[in-house]
Chains A and B, each alone.
Chain A
Amino acid sequence: MSSIPAVVAVNTFREAVRDRVLYNLIFFALLMMGAAILVGQISVGIERIVIVNLGLSSISIFGIIMAIFIGVGLVYKEIEKRTLYSLLAKPIKRWEFIVGKFGGLLLTLAVNTTFMLLGLFVALLYVSRHLERGDWGIVEAAYFILLQLALITALALFFSCFSSPMLSTLFTLGIYVAGLFSKDIREIGALTKSPVVEWACKAIYYALPNFHNFNVIALAGHGQPIPASLLWQNTLYAALYVLILLLASAAVFSGRNLK
C-alpha cells in the first residue's frame, strides 16, 4: 500500500491550517456561547433542544461551506499555482494525488467537526448542568454530518478535476440541493403516471446522493435513539458513493492534458 496519498493528505491538512481555515471555530464558539446565554431568555421550554439543533446545524453549515469552497480549489489551485507540475514530476500517480487531496480535506473537516462537537457539549453542559444518556445521539448525528461532508468533498473534488472553481461550486451546490429533494423527484415521477417519466425520475433518485439519509438532527435534539442499522447503512452508503466519485475523479484527472 502506497503511503503517498497519506503524505499528500497531511500536507493538504497543513495547508488548510496555514490558510487559517480553522478560525471558523472561534465564530462557532461565540455562536454557542451567545446561544447558551440568550436562549433561556428569549424562548420557552427548548433551552436544551435549541443548543443541540443550533450546534449540529452550525457544524453542518460550516462544514458544507468548507467542503465546497476548499474542495473546488483542491486541484484547480495546484494547477493555477503550477505546483502540480513539480508534484507530478515526482513518482506520484495522479490517482494518489486525488485520494490524498480528498483525505486531507476530510481530515480538516473531521478535526473541525470534533472541536465543534466539543464546544457543543460544553454549551450543553452550561445550559442543562448535566449530560444524559440520550446525548450519545449528538455524537452519532455529528458522525452522519461528517459522512455527508465526505460526500460533498468528493463531489467538489470531482468537479474541480475538469472545471473552474466558480462552476464547480455551482455544480456541487446544485447536486447538494437536488440530493436533498431526491425523494420529491421520485414522488413527482410517480404522480405523472407516465412509465418513462417515472423511470427517469427513479433513475435520478438513485443517481443523486441522498443527503436526506444523514439528517438525524431532530432525533438527536429530542434525545431519541437513532436506529443502529442506520449507522452502518449510512456509513456504507457514503463509502460507496465516495468510492464512485473518487474513481471518476481519478479517471477524469488521469486523462486530463495538463500542458
Chain B
Amino acid sequence: MNSHRKLALLAAVGVPLLFVAVITLQTRIDVSTAAEVQSQQELLLSSGTVIKRLSLGYDALLADIYWTRAVQYYGSNAGIPGVKFPLLWPLLDITTTLDPKLTPAYRFGAVFLSEQSPVGAGEPELALKLTQKGIAANPQDWQMNATEGFLYYWYLREYQKSSEAYLAGSKNPLAPGWLAMMAAQVVLKANETNTSEMIWTEIYNSTPNPSIRKSALLHLEGLHASQDIEALNQLAQKYHSIYGHYPASVDVLVQAGLARTTPVDPSGLPYIYDADGRAQLNPKSEIVIESGPATPPKVYNN
C-alpha cells in the first residue's frame, strides 16, 4: 500500500471519527453553557433607527428577520406560567422602525402585547402605542383603526376613544360597514355581550393567523357560555318557583320540560348547578368565562 492510499484510508476512517468527537464535545459545551445562553437572551442594539442606518440598505430584509425573531420569541415563551416578555416591545419597535409598512407586525404584535400573561405580555398600552405608530405609517389601512378601537374597548375600557378609532377607520373607502356600526355600538352598549361577541367574531373572521383565530374562538366560546349561564340561572329560578327548590343538575330541567336537551357548554360538557341554583361550568371544562370588556379571563390570573 503506497503512502497516498494509506492517507486516503486514514482520512476515510479518521474524519468521521473526529466529527463524532467534535459533536460529542459540542453537546457537552452546550450543556455547560445552557444557563449562560439563557441569560444572553437580550438585544445588543435596541434602537431601530441605529439598526436601520447600519443595515446598509437591507432594512426591509432585516425587518423580516426581526419580525421572525419576535414571533419565535413570543412563541417560545407564551404559555409558561408567570412569563414576562421584556424583549417583545423592543423587537416589535425595531421591526416597525426598519419597515414601517410591515402591517402584520403591528396587527399580530398588538395581540401578543395586549393579552394577559402567560398568553401575552399584558401591556395593552404598548399595544396601543404600536398600533398608533402603525396608523401613522399606514393611514390607508383601516384594520389598524379597528385594532386601536378594539384595544380601547376590550383592554382599556375607554369607550369614547374606541368609538373614535372605529369611526376614523370607517371613513376609509375600503373599510367594511361594520366599522361604522361598531363606532356607535361601543359607546351605546359598551358592556353588552353582543358587542363583545361582534368584535371577536370580526377578529376571528378577518385574521388568517391560527393562534389569533384560536384566541378569538376561546373568547367567543367564553361569551357563549356566559350567555348560557345567564339563561340557566333564569331557568333555575323558574324551576324553584314551580317545585320550591333548585334543580340538582341540568338534566332535571329536561325532565321538568324546561329544556329540550341537556344544556352543554361549547366544549360539549354539561353545565352544573350549585346548591343555590347558580349555573356553573363543568369543572372539567376548558372554557373561560369573561365578565365583560377589560376583565382578564380567569385562566390568565392563575
CB distance from B276 to the nearest CB of A (A): 46
Q: Is A43 an interface residue, CB under 8 A from the partner?
A: yes
Nearest A residue (CB) for B68: A43
**A46 and B104 in contact, given A184-B53, A218-B99 (Cβ under 8 angstroms):** yes
Determine the distance from Cα of A60 to Cα of B71 in the docked complex, in whole angstroms.
27
Q: How far is the CA of A215 from the CA of B59 in the complex (A)?
A: 10
Contact status B61-A53, CB under 8 Å: yes
B175 at the A interface (CB under 8 A): no
> Known contacts A184-B53, A218-B99: does B60 contact A45 (CB below 8 Å)?
no
Please state if B67 and A43 are interface contacts (CB–CB under 8 Å). yes
Q: A44-B71, A180-B57, A218-B99 are in contact. Are A50 and B64 (CB under 8 A)?
A: yes
CA distance A49 to B62 in the complex (A): 12
Q: Mark B58-101, 1 if CB is under 8 A from A, else 0.
A: 11110110011001100000000000000000000000000101
Which B residues form the contact surface with A (CB < 8 A)?
53, 56-61, 63-64, 67-68, 71-72, 99, 101-105, 107-108, 208-209
Q: Mark A21-57, 1 if CB is under 8 A from B, else 0.
A: 0000000000000000001001111100110011001
A43 with B71: CB separation less than 8 A: yes
Residues from chain B with a CB closer than 8 A to the CB of A49 are: 60, 64, 102
Contact of B107 among A45, A54, A180, A224 (CB under 8 A): A45
Rounded to whole angstroms, the CA-CA distance of A50 and B68 in the bound complex is 10
A79 to chain B, nearest CB (A): 32
With A44-B71, A180-B57, A218-B59: A54-B64 Cβ-Cβ less than 8 Å? yes
A interface residues (Cβ-Cβ under 8 A, vs B): 39, 42-46, 49-50, 53-54, 57, 60-61, 177, 180-181, 184, 211-212, 215, 217-218, 221-222, 224
A-B pairs under 8 A by CB, number: 64
> Bound state CA distance, A221 and B58, in angstroms?
12
Mostly helix, strand, loop or mixed at chain A's interface?
helix
Across the interface, which residues of A come within 8 angstroms of B61, CB to CB? Answer: 53-54, 57, 217
Beta-carbon contact of B209 and A45 below 8 Å? yes
For the complex, give the distance between the alpha carbons of A42 and B57 in Å. Answer: 24
With known contacts A44-B104, A46-B102, A53–B64 Cβ distance under 8 A = yes
Q: Assuming A217-B57, A221-B99, what are 7 further A-B pairs, CB within 8 angstroms?
A: A49-B64, A50-B64, A53-B63, A57-B60, A60-B58, A212-B57, A218-B99
Q: Assess the A45–B104 pair: CB atoms within 8 A.
A: yes
Q: Which residues of A contact B208 (CB under 8 A)?
A: 45
Q: Give the chain A neighbours of B57 by CB distance below 8 A.
A: 60, 180, 211-212, 215, 217
Q: Which residues of B contact A53 (CB under 8 A)?
A: 60-61, 63-64
A217 to B64: give the CA distance in the assembly, Å.
Answer: 12
Shortest Cβ distance from residue B29 to the other chain A in the assembled complex, whole angstroms? 25
A61 contacts across to B, CB distance below 8 A = 58
Given A45-B209, A57-B61, A180 contacting B56 (CB threshold 8 A)? yes
